[in-house]
């Protein structure tokens, strides 16, 4: 399994809009081949936001990252009023 991790800092009042955006986008991601799950983590005091999406394979992750994922990140960044953040990819080597 592979994980895509994106971290960003935004104004704390932007979280509700981002949450709504993610909820609107999730149905199409759930249909993507290899999609395993999504987490939106937030520190409401500092405005730090981390997203983690899980994929069956590196190929599934990268296929999504180049299309629908890139567009969703661009739209989410506009919603937050920030520059699109870098994307990190990790292999999940242990799951408990």
Do 15 and 49 meet the contact criterion of CB atoms below 8 Å apart? yes
Q: What are the residues facing 89 on neighbouring strands?
A: 4
- pLDDT, residue 2, reads 97
Do 77 and 21 meet the contact criterion of CB atoms below 8 Å apart? no
DSSP class of residue 45 equals T
Q: List per-block mean pLDDT (blocks of 10 residues) for the chain, which spans 96 residues.
A: 91 83 84 92 92 94 76 74 83 94
- pLDDT, residue 63, reads 84
Greatest pairwise CA separation for the chain in angstroms: 36
- pLDDT, residue 67, reads 67
- pLDDT, residue 56, reads 96
- pLDDT, residue 55, reads 95
- pLDDT, residue 85, reads 80
Domain range 2-91, its CATH number among 3.40.50.300, 3.40.50.720, 3.30.70.920, 3.30.70.100: 3.30.70.100
């Amino acid at each position: 399994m592979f994980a895509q991790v994106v971290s960003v800092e935004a104004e704390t009042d932007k979280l509700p809009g981002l949450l709504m955006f993610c909820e609107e986008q999730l149905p199409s991601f759930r249909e993507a081949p290899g999609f395993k799950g999504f987490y939106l983590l937030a520190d409401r005091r500092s405005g730090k936001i981390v997203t983690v999406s899980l994929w069956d394979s590196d190929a599934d992750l990268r296929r999504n990252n180049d299309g629908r994922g890139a567009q969703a990140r661009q739209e989410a960044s506009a919603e937050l009023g920030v520059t699109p953040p870098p994307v990190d990819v990790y292999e999940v080597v242990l799951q408990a």
